[in-house]
Chains A and B, each alone.
Chain A
Amino acid sequence: MNGWTLLLRMALRRDRLLIPSWVAVFVVVSFGSAAATESLYGDPVSLAAAGHAVNATPALVALYGPIYDVTALGAIGMMKMNAMGAALVGLLGLLLVIRHTRADEEVGRTELAASGAVGRHAALAAALGTAALTVVAVGGLSAGALAAAGLPLGGSLTLGAAWAVCGLVFTAVGGVAAQLATSARASRGIAVAALLAAYVLRAVGDTSGPAWLTWASPVGWSQQMRAYAGDRWWPAAFALLAAVAVAAAAVLVEQRRDLGAGVLADRAGPAHGGPTGPLSLAWRLHRLALAGWASGFALLGFLLGSIASSVPQFLEGAPAAAEMIRALGGTDRLIDAFLATELDFTALVAAAFAVSLIVRLAGEEAHGRAEEVLATPTGRIRWALAHLAVALLGSAVLIVLLGTAAGLARALDTGEVSQLLSVAGASLVRIPAAWTMAAVALLLYAASSRAAVYAWAALVGVVVLGEFGPLMRLPDWMQQLSPYRHIPALPGADLEVTPLVVLLAVTAALVAASAVLYRRRDIVTG
């Protein structure tokens, strides 16, 4: 343990921008949703109606958890932030731990530190400390933001604590995952799988039962603290005990393994074969990520499709919200408007997948792997286009998969097979918008390897324009900047082909401009 405080300070210094930005996101979102809650549910009657409607909809309970007090504004308003928020804080904790343990170890930085006067577990302790401080800060500051936005102080503190303890458990889980695999990527996969499993346990426990499954899940413990609906603090004890036990397990495993090794040894692979060209290489590099995203999208699509039928019932009690969705959807048909909004939003997430692949091109370049390919007869344009192809194909697959799963759920719900085609077909019009975002990312990367990360800023900008543009009454030309603004609001609206063709043309023009820029610039390794 010797030297761990030094490493802790170093980790905090290294993440002096990253950690505050994450904390800020949680705090701002908390404040925003708490402030919006009051206006959505005006009177106690509509509040209780909405609460009962949620509890009667298994898909919603599975997704967000039940509402324990249908008379409490905070319990209903913060429904989406309860279990979901706790899981997201858990995600933050595990990502931070792995970033400062296995990711460092993989590239040899840990070895350098370990050769100094630091103890065997110093790096792990510092990483756990960094993540623990972060999740506690998220919980504490978010609780403050919730209370400041007008929600009851007691409930706000409970919710903040529920988030923090869930964050602590998955911080420790990240610590164990980092001991298991030899790569940061695989460690993240293991830890995220554990988080998803905990979420699913809770979802099953809350809906079909048996109810004790919820109590087997760390996410369930946070949810059972019942923020704004009784404020129970004792379930936090389970979480704290589990966090300590799991962290101790991580230390024990680290005690028994060599530096650089993992408990799960790398399996030997084929001695020959492998990718046959640039496209096949890009596919090989991204196929696992795509498979993970695809399973998530299929599940989410099915859930959204199942929820859709109960939307009118859910909103009967909340006329203001119904009004808002109608206004945003531009149609009276509430279910269609709901589906259209969700399809738009998930298509943005699919664009994030495409952007992540394009941003990885910059990583391939910085690490010299681009150089190895580009020293062969494969030209730089062909190499970049191969990755773009996987990004475009992947995002399209995700969008269609989600639409099809949602349509399937609707068809099962209503008994009308036409729903399947209608919703799946409606998802198709989102593809050109996602592709435009991928092309924007490509243009940034083509201009300079370092500019590629700004594609994330562009994506966040589009989210902000879409979510807050109408509410903030931003000037129309500004809202028009988002490609998602131009998508016909299917299902339920008329299919307009012109904007889709324009988006595809813009995408093609951006790709062509990328090629021109990319052909001129240096490939910079290191």
Chain B
Amino acid sequence: MTNAIEIAGLVKTFGSIRALDELDLTVRTGEVHGFLGPNGSGKSTTIRVLLGLLRSNAGSVTLLGGDPWRDATALHRRLAYVPGDVNLWPQLTGGEVIDLLGRLRGGVDPGRRDKLIQKFELDPTKRSRAYSKGNRQKVALVAALASDAELLILDEPTSGLDPLMEELFRECVQEERSRGRTVLLSSHILSEVEALCDRVSIIRNGRTVETGSLTDLRHLTETSVDATLTGPVPDLAGLDLRDLDIEGGRVRCLVPTPALGDLLARLGAAGISSLVSQPPTLEQLFLRHYGDQA
């Protein structure tokens, strides 16, 4: 099987609200897939459909080759899930919750569990009600990472973690990928997605607006160029530049990727004394889709 998750034309409505509006998502087996979107765009709803908690109104959803609604229990043997807002049973300790979730998934590897608990500096003897949001998230993460699941579904797993723990989380995800596990990582932390993900899907208002590898997506956007010329500034018309700023011999602008070669050729002909060029960041990519929302 080449795709762990295949969603096409998924529609989910709550009353009159169309939470998912013909959403598409493909996650290949063995990849770390970033699932990006602003709050309320439908990331968690998509994940809940994948977990068989919500029933889709239209579209096709295939999870690990099965139907997530019909084959829920069988499929859940092969995946582990970390919710975005982790809520634990207040009277159980963190260690008990980790063991419970492990047992429900069909067993825990005690060695791996203890190593993860130590790594994440979690006190497993504390009652869950005393944990902070970050610590509750660690409990769910340790339980998921200690499992043998072939697919990890992580819904904004680092939203409560401090930067050190976030770094640790990245290491863990990279380790999982090297073991051949598939990861669906919903997030709105762009640096995290940039560092971890092979491919990303960006959704907005319940609809997929971009999908592909980061390199693919960068082609869709603009490179920033800051050049100081030795000669006079050439004619730059017809290149579709944005934010063009000419100050003496210095040219700063954003150039669409297809026009990049042309721009450099013209600047080169004029003579370049220094050139700084930056590839588009995911942030720009993101803003391209959401910036006009306001």
Contacts and interface: CB of A to CB of B under 8 A. Distances in A.
Nearest to A376: B104
Nearest to A267: B127
B277 interface: no
A461 interface: no
Nearest to A378: B104
B130 A523 contact: no
Contacts of B88: 369, 372
Interface in B167-193: none
B73 A377 contact: yes
A183 B101 contact: no
A277 B95 contact: no
Contact of B104 (A267, A284, A367, A377): A377
Interface in A503-524: 520-523
B156 to A, nearest CB: 13
B251 interface: no
A522 B91 CA distance: 27
B93 A271 contact: yes
Given A106-B129, A522-B54, A274 B87 contact: no
Nearest to A281: B100
Contacts of B90: 183, 185
Contact of B96 (A269, A375, A376, A378): A269
Contact of B99 (A267, A274, A375): A274
B35 interface: no
- Among A185, A268, A269, A369, max chain B CB count under 10 A is at A269
A378 B81 CA distance: 13
What size tier do the contact residues of chain A reach? Answer: 35 or more
B160 interface: no
Nearest to B125: A268
Interface in B97-111: 97, 99-101, 103-106, 110
A275 interface: yes
B92 A371 contact: no
B55 A372 contact: no
Contact of B48 (A106, A269, A371, A521): A371
Contacts of B96: 269-270, 272-275
A39 interface: no
B103 A276 contact: yes
A376 B101 contact: yes
A267 B73 CA distance: 36
A330 interface: no
Contacts of B87: 367-369, 372
Given A271-B124, A272-B99, A369-B88, A377 B106 contact: yes
A275 B92 contact: yes
A106 B130 CA distance: 9
A182 B130 contact: yes
A374 interface: yes
B267 to A, nearest CB: 53
B109 to A, nearest CB: 13
A268 B79 CA distance: 31
B40 to A, nearest CB: 12
A368 B105 CA distance: 17
Given A183-B90, A369-B87, A371-B48, A522 B53 contact: yes
Nearest to A369: B87
A183 B90 CA distance: 9
A182 B72 CA distance: 37
Interface string A354-398: 000000000000011101111111110000000000000000000
Contacts of A281: 89, 100
A365 to B, nearest CB: 10
A340 B103 CA distance: 46
Contacts of B74: 377
A525 interface: yes
Contacts of B76: 375-378
A363 B147 CA distance: 27
A285 B93 contact: no
Contact of A379 (B72, B92, B110, B140): B72
Contact of A278 (B52, B95, B104, B125): B104
B105 to A, nearest CB: 5
Contacts of A274: 92-93, 95-97, 99-100
A258 interface: no
A269 B53 contact: no
Contacts of A268: 93, 125-126
B77 interface: yes
B66 to A, nearest CB: 13
Contacts of B101: 372, 376
A281 B83 CA distance: 20
A315 to B, nearest CB: 47
A266 interface: yes
- Among A288, A377, A526, max chain B CB count under 10 A is at A377
A310 B99 CA distance: 55
Nearest to B126: A268
Contacts of B106: 377
B85 interface: yes
Interface string A273-297: 1111110010011001000000000
A277 B103 contact: yes
Given A373-B104, A522-B54, A523-B54, A270 B73 contact: no
Interface string A189-204: 0000000000000000
A494 B99 CA distance: 52
Interface in A87-116: 106
Contacts of B53: 371, 374-375, 522-523, 525
A371 B104 CA distance: 13
Interface string A205-233: 00000000000000000000000000000
A467 B76 CA distance: 49
Interface of A: 106, 182-183, 185, 266-278, 281, 284-285, 288, 367-369, 371-379, 520-523, 525-526
- Which 3 pairs show the lowest CB-CB distances between chains A and B? A274-B96, A269-B93, A376-B104
6 contacts: A374-B52, A375-B83, A377-B105, A378-B76, A378-B104, A379-B73
Interface of B: 48, 51-55, 72-74, 76-77, 79-81, 83, 85-93, 95-97, 99-101, 103-106, 110, 124-127, 129-130, 140, 153
